Amino acid sequence: MSRMRFITIEDLLEMLANNQKFKLVEVLSEEDYKSGHIPGAISLPLDKLSALAKQHLKKTNSIVVYCANYQCHASTNAAKTLLKMGYRKTADFKAGKRGWLHAGFELEK
């Protein structure tokens, strides 16, 4: 299995600023997603991730998963699941929504 990779807010901002092609995936519930998500993110809740991944992600995609904050383990579990499924270019933005907001950015609704 590929190694787990964590990225910081600076890494994510650099990817966005450089127009890197990647899928940003929120792994919280659909209700959490609808209440506000990082702009450009798609919703693939952790409990449905295995079923939905094949429909929305390609094995060649660079993927960044996130959840609520550092205390939330959903994104790490999602990254492990995707790596086991063969999505080798998966990273975990551990700071999640709270880190995004704390850095002064807004959520999209």
Statement: the pTM of the whole predicted model exceeds 0.75? yes
Q: What are phi and psi of 97, to 5 degrees?
A: -60, -40
Domains, in order of start, for the chain: 6-102 (3.40.250.10)
Indicate the average pLDDT of the chain: 96
With bands split at pLDDT 50, 70 and 90, how would you rate the model's confidence at 2?
Answer: confident
Asked if the model's pLDDT at residue 82 lies above 70, the reply is: yes
Distance CA 84, CA 47 (A): 15
Taking alpha carbons only, the member of 1, 46, 9, 54 closest to residue 27 is 46
- CA distances to 8, 17, 19, 62 from 75, in Å: 13, 23, 23, 15
Asked if the model's pLDDT at residue 1 lies above 70, the reply is: no
